[in-house]
Amino acid sequence: MKKFFIAAALVLGFAVAASAQPRAIGLRLGWGAEASYQHTVYNEDFVEVDLGLCTFDGLNASAVYNFMIAQPAWTDRGDWGFYAGPGLAVGMGGLTTESAYFNLGVAGQVGLEYTFWFPLQLSFDIRPVLGFGFNYGFHWSVMPAIGVRYRF
């Protein structure tokens, strides 16, 4: 019975800690459109997970761990943040052609964000991806995007 209470207390503690972290959900718009979710992990570092269309003929998913490098105080209200980090990408391309392919890749991300004093976040980032597409070979891409997210 004692182990049950300890386990329940740990689960409750982790749940409270996870729900207390800032999150954001919205869209990332660039060569395609992606649904985007951010979850703060440690201090100001965050994980970003995106799922969507890539160049409008493929599907992709990516996960990037971003380190908050600097938070300059450029304005009196709102928060600025400069971030960068590594990640992974997976997807399917060429879905509108006869030569569809599956790809895996290593991604990076560098970006600048502004969080308003109300729950809106705007960002601009660049995500280079180096990957291997089965039935396609090695490839690389650089995808700039603008993010619009609701921060909660």
Q: Both tokens of residue 150? A: 């609701």
Residue range 35-92, pLDDT digits in tens: 999 999 988 999 999 999 877 678 999 999 999 999 999 999 999 999 999 999 999 8
What CATH number does the domain containing 147 carry? 2.40.160
Does the residue 43 lie in any domain?
yes
Q: What is the pTM of this model?
A: 0.82
Q: What are the two backbone dihedrals, phi and then psi, of residue 2, each rounded to the nearest 5 degrees?
A: -65, -40
d(CA 136, CA 129): 15
Give me the amino acid identity at 109.
Q
Task: Provide the domain count of the chain.
Answer: 1
Domain with 117, as residue range(s), is: 23-151
Does the residue 144 lie in any domain?
yes
